[in-house]
């Protein structure tokens, strides 16, 4: 009891030192409700949800996802513009902006907006709920769960103690990024017809990484200047920026670096196949990956060395007696009598009046 009481007293005094304007707002008395919701979120999306869905078919939620994502675009746009109008479009100092704890209308409006921004972090849990209900379990990555799971708890401290001033730069930049992000996912939810407009996902991820650099620089600049702003929150916000930057950088490397390597490997494989199947070889192979009228080793219509069975040529005159080449110029050992080796009236092995027809079997192409 002697150890516990000082901790209780410290916690009580800490909570009492919060901004009195927000003291009676929903979830603002203490961190327990927010922490409970965040832990429940992790438990649901990582274990309970997948367990419930394991024997159920994925749900088709396309229209609900479209509505949700574009509603989030509207919410993010509103928060971004209000944060700008109340502060970051000119009223706030970008180098040092103390928190205004008075009942000034703009200061009160900023505190209220910070609280709404905090509540929007709970709404963003819906992103992961959709993954669970659609059985997209591979999308529920460590990055995704950490990012969504700790944000409400992180923002809670800001609303409780610094609902305005320097702290709100984080929400300002993050809301701008979310406008872009939810617009992208709204388009993606429409369906495959939108794929041609979604080439910029990689750049959206890069934009998210840039936001954390901006937040990091904006926060830690206070190390080099005097500012009437709690330094503890400078470290708190700066730490989150660094953490998220490394998480997103790892995601970027694993996602787009792996994709780039796969594309290179595919290109190399295709190039090798093109050389194997498309090169003119001394044994008469000139396939170019096609089946129609093309057979290996000069048999039945390919320009082989020995012109077996009436090799076809360009502009060959009626495919006469195995004549091969331009305008009927003969190939060595490629001549046969008109009625021999399957020739009838100059038509042989899939050649009719110099035109190649499909004589190659599927087996020939698969070899």
Answer whether 98's CB lies under 8 Å from 228's CB. Answer: yes
Answer whether 24's CB lies under 8 Å from 98's CB. Answer: no
Answer whether 171's CB lies under 8 Å from 79's CB. Answer: yes
Q: Give the position of tokens 């799971």.
A: 149
Answer whether 146's CB lies under 8 Å from 42's CB. Answer: no
Question: From residue 87, how far is each of 77, 173, 180, 314 by CA, in Å?
Answer: 15, 13, 21, 76
Answer whether 130's CB lies under 8 Å from 59's CB. Answer: no
- The contacts found for 85-91 with CB under 8 angstroms, 24 or more apart, are 86/110, 86/113, 87/164, 87/168, 87/172, 88/168, 88/169, 88/172
Give catalytic residue positions. Answer: 147
C-alpha 307/C-alpha 301 separation (Å) is 8
Structure tokens that stand for 200 in this block: 């910029």
Please report how the helices 231-252 and 168-190 are oriented relative to each other, as an axis angle in degrees rounded to 10.
30
Answer whether 351's CB lies under 8 Å from 324's CB. Answer: no
Instruction: Centre a 10 Å sphere on the Cβ of residue 44 and count the other Cβ atoms it contains.
Output: 17
Determine which helix (DSSP H) or strand (DSSP E) holds 356, and give its type and residue range: strand 355-356
Beta strands 351-352 and 355-356 are antiparallel
C-alpha 360/C-alpha 367 separation (Å) is 12
Question: From residue 359, how far is each of 106, 162, 334, 365 by CA, in Å?
Answer: 82, 80, 19, 11
* All residues at 6 or more sequence positions from 7 whose CB lies less than 8 Å from its CB, including other chains: none
């Amino acid at each position: 009891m002697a150890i516990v009481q000082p901790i209780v007293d410290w916690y009580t005094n800490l909570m009492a030192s919060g901004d009195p304007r927000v003291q009676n707002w929903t979830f603002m008395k203490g961190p327990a409700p927010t922490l409970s919701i965040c832990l429940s979120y992790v438990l649901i999306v990582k274990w309970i949800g997948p367990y419930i869905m394991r024997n159920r078919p994925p749900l088709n939620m396309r229209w609900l996802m479209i509505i949700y994502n574009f509603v989030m675009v509207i919410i993010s746009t509103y928060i971004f513009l209000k944060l700008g109008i109340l502060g970051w479009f000119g009223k706030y100092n970008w180098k040092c902006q103390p928190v205004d704890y008075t009942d000034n209308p703009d200061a009160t409006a900023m505190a209220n907006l910070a609280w709404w921004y905090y509540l929007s972090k709970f709404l963003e849990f819906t992103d992961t709920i959709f993954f669970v209900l659609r059985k997209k379990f591979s999308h529920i990555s460590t990055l995704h769960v950490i990012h969504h799971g700790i944000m409400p708890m992180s923002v809670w401290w800001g609303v409780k103690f610094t609902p305005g001033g320097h702290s709100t730069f984080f929400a300002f930049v993050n809301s701008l990024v979310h406008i872009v992000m939810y617009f992208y996912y709204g388009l993606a939810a429409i369906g495959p017809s939108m794929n041609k407009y979604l080439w910029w996902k990689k750049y959206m991820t890069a934009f998210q990484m840039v936001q954390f650099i901006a937040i990091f620089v904006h926060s830690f600049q206070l190390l080099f200047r005097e500012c009437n702003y709690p330094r503890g929150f400078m470290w708190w916000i700066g730490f989150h920026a660094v953490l998220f930057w490394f998480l997103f950088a790892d995601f970027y490397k694993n996602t787009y670096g792996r994709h780039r390597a796969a594309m290179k490997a595919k290109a190399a494989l295709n190039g090798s196949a093109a050389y194997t199947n498309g090169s003119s070889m001394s044994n008469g192979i000139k396939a170019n990956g096609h089946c129609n009228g093309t057979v290996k080793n000069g048999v039945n219509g390919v320009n082989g060395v020995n012109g077996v069975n009436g090799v076809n040529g360009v502009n060959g005159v009626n495919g006469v007696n195995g004549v091969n080449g331009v305008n009927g110029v003969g190939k060595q050992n490629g001549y046969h009598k008109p009625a021999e080796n399957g020739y009838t009236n100059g038509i042989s092995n899939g050649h009719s009046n110099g035109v190649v027809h499909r004589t190659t079997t599927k087996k020939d192409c698969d070899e």
